Amino acid sequence: MKSNSTPNIKDSKGTLGSSNYALKVLLTVTAVSLLLNYVETMVIPGIPAIQADLGASKTLASWITSSFLIVGAAVAPVFGKLGDIYGKKKIFLSVLLFYIAGVGLAGFATNIYLLIASRAIQGIGFAIVPLGLAIVTDIFPREKVATAQGIISGTFAIGAAAGLVLGAYIVEDLSWQWAFHSAFILSIILFFIAAIMLKKDVPGAKNKVDYTGATMLMSGIILILLYLTEAPNLGWLSLETIAFLIPGLVLTIGFFLFEKKRVNPLIQLKLLEIRNVLVANLVGIISSLAMFLLFFAVVYYAQQPAPYGLGLDTIHTGLTLAPATLVMLIVGPIMGRLVTKIGPKPILILGALISIVGLSLFIFNRGTTFDLTLDVAVSLVGVVSMIIPIVNMISVSVPRESTAVGLGMNTMLRNLGGAIGPVLATTIMSSYSDTLLNPVTHQPVAVLANSTAFNVIFTIGIALTMTIIVLSLTIKNYTFKDKPKKVD
């Protein structure tokens, strides 16, 4: 584990490690995280409306989320390393500018492809998350880092609630374009706040950045997801889909082989030799995959007409799901404190068990809006209870000079899991669907995912979460009151 001392970096205005400055930084990073969570949650329930407005297929519409996550996955470690090299404030603000540009362009997209491209630009902005967590880790005392991270993670609740409710009203009453316009204005305001509040930190050693590795990884994952997107329509073993799959696998596998030979790799594979870092990253991939699998299934189920769903519009979908997200606002800081007192291992296992209960409820108890609210609440408590321990495990297990890189790597792998989730969900919904016919003309009027599709999705989620429990058993637990010197 890192030293117990708090960084004591001086600038013209005083000590950056002071409690007053630490609070300002926490509020600033929390506000930016809140914006990201607002936009990303706002997008998900609005996807059916965007899909209809732009005339896109269900699987193509899933790329509205996946493009953001794929690019975010590839660039998070890059910008994490750039933060270590050139200073985290400078890179934090640079990344926020990319996000502002992407959000601004999204509001003016005239077709699904331009929207996906603008969402990809927004993906660069997702590097804000590991950079923000690294900044907080640098300035807070070791025993308070987990609580601070819990507060940041808990903002997912506020952002999600705002995205589901406020975003739903904007999409329904104005348009989905105005959802992005509002986020554009807010992001500009937060840029200036961050520029004022964050103090310049000390740059590190000037090392090369692995842009080639980032390109290989992003290209490989995109091709694999294209295979998953097109396979239900063209055939899982057709030449057209295999043309996506084989190069995708070659690039993805080649990326890891390539990284072993790099002096300054995108992913520091040596960090994965630390047991807790390896487990945290594996859990990150699996939990994010399960979470986005769940989100997409729930949103489509809520908006499909009865008896295939609940027949809710965008606003009522948001109102149904929003109360569940507020539970995370309470749970996040509590879990952060518990990680400090009893360690990450029991909290991670507890979170996985709660998620399994929530996913099981979806299979047997989803007939009303109240049922859906309850199911999502239980599931999201489990999700936040898993996210906080893995972020803390990275923060305390890697060398201080590699904090941003370690968190960037974890964000990258969680994004990869999250990018697969929507595509896998829509693939399953397309594979298990019913065609509705006009009773007069007997012509097809809609293709809707049936009950089997949703049961398969939630069952897969349960299986994935069970693997998290198995992985959690291998963790080397620690508590801050024990003041261990290092967690391997």
With 60 as the cut, is the pLDDT of residue 207 above it?
A: yes
- Residue-range domain boundaries for the chain: 16-210+262-482, 211-261
In CATH terms, 16-210+262-482 corresponds, of 3.40.50.9100, 1.20.1440.60, 1.20.1250.20, 1.10.3720.10, to 1.20.1250.20
Query: What are the pLDDT digits (tens) for 438-477?
Result: 666 666 666 778 889 899 999 999 999 999 999 999 988 8
Which of 30, 132, 465 lies closest to 291, judged by CA? 465
H-helix or E-strand spanning residue 446: strand 444-449
CB-count exposure of residue 10 (10 Å: 0-12, 13-18, 19+): exposed
- Residue 196's pLDDT is 84
Query: What span, in angstroms and rounded, lies between the C-alpha atoms of 474 and 463?
Result: 18
Q: Which comes out higher in pLDDT, residue 421 or 3?
A: 421
Cα separation values, 100 from 206, 216, 261, 346, 395, Å: 28, 26, 36, 39, 28
Which of 362, 397, 373 lies closest to 487, judged by CA? 397
The answer to whether 60 and 112 are in contact (CB under 8 A) is: yes
- Residue 145's pLDDT is 66
* 31-66 per-residue burial string, b: 16 or more CB within 10 A, e: under 16: bbbbbbbbbbbbbbbbbbbbbeebebebbbbbbbbb
* 3-class state of residue 175 by DSSP: coil
Cα separation values, 464 from 83, 195, 286, 353, Å: 33, 41, 6, 12
Confidence band, pLDDT 50/70/90 cuts, at residue 188: very high
CB-count exposure of residue 441 (10 Å: 0-12, 13-18, 19+): exposed
Confidence band, pLDDT 50/70/90 cuts, at residue 305: confident
The answer to whether 323 and 450 are in contact (CB under 8 A) is: no
Longest dimension (CA), the chain: 78
Name the amino acid, one letter, at 347: I
Confidence band, pLDDT 50/70/90 cuts, at residue 349: very high
The answer to whether 7 and 16 are in contact (CB under 8 A) is: yes
Share of the chain above pLDDT 70, in %: 79
% helix, strand, coil for the chain, step of 5: 80, 5, 20
* Termini Cα distance of the chain: 8
Cα separation values, 188 from 32, 71, 101, 104, 315, Å: 11, 22, 10, 10, 27
Highest mean pLDDT pick, 294-308, 408-422, 466-480? 466-480
Tell me the sheet residues that pair with 14: 11
Mean pLDDT score, 426-448: 73
With 80 as the cut, is the pLDDT of residue 357 above it?
A: yes
Handedness of CA 404, 407, 413, 415 (dihedral sign): negative
With 90 as the cut, is the pLDDT of residue 318 above it?
A: no
Query: What span, in angstroms and rounded, lies between the C-alpha atoms of 16 and 139?
Result: 7
Cα separation values, 353 from 157, 251, 470, Å: 20, 35, 11
Tell me the two tokens of residue 264. 């300054």
Residues 6+ apart with CB under 8 A from 441: none
- Residue 13's pLDDT is 38
Helix pair angle (403-431, 369-397), 10° resolution:
150
Query: What span, in angstroms and rounded, lies between the C-alpha atoms of 191 and 185?
Result: 10
What are the φ/ψ torsions at residue 445 (nearest 5 degrees)? Answer: -115, -20
